[in-house]
Structure 1
């Protein structure tokens, strides 16, 4: 007798589960926790699915917090793309090992190597994907 495969978690459930894992021993959600959340999403779902999962989760969280203007589509996707690139070339089993191997990801100014600030300030970049205009992602 075969058993049906469990359904994949809905994106909201997946985001909430990953967020709970990241925040289990944390008090604040800062850049390191964002990278940790993204690392978990990329490892669990792949970069493409992680883009949607993280973007939708952050958008929903910002809206729930009464600050929908804080969501930035290009910035959210760019970080997933960068983390995804490093995950693809890594066999780190723990987030701490990954973090030690890729310290550049913990510099919040990393996107300035790829984007002009004026580009990220546009309504287009805030609401949708804009390709890097200074240097392509690796």
Structure 2
């Protein structure tokens, strides 16, 4: 038996109050990971965990590196702006994160479906992320 990873522990924490892993739970998992490990470490932790889970489920093709990283960056950006220690309060303050179509504000669907996006990083091609604009000022 293999030891539980930080991803496994965080997943168990999120799923202790849920009956299925839907988009809200994905955002909750990402928020917990960002709060505990920081955005940079969360990117790797979440990406590795989701990729491992997809392989285990026999669906490795469902993993998309750009989608995983983009969600971590979006959640991380908002988590850094607030001091919320409760996920429900965080979600109420940032309801757009609960819209699983949020990435379509930043990416064309064809870009996210591309081989480059699935295996690496694709820059937003519809609109820049909010923090890109802040950095460039």
TM-score (norm 1): 0.90
> Helix, strand or coil for the counterpart of 1:66?
coil
| Residue of structure 2 in register with 1:96 after alignment | 88
Paired with 1:35 and 1:134, the residues of 2 have a C-alpha distance of 22
| Residue of structure 2 in register with 1:64 after alignment | 56
Q: Tell me, which stretches of 5 or more residues in structure 1 are unaligned?
A: 1-11
Which of residues 91, 98, 109 is equivalent to 1:117?
Answer: 109
Q: How many residues align?
A: 127
TM-score (norm 2): 0.91
- Flag the structure with higher helix content: 2
Q: Tell me, which stretches of 5 or more residues in structure 2 are unaligned?
A: 131-137
Which of structure 1's runs of 4+ aligned residues deviate more than 3 A? Answer: none
| Residue of structure 2 in register with 1:8 after alignment | none
| Residue of structure 1 in register with 2:42 after alignment | 50
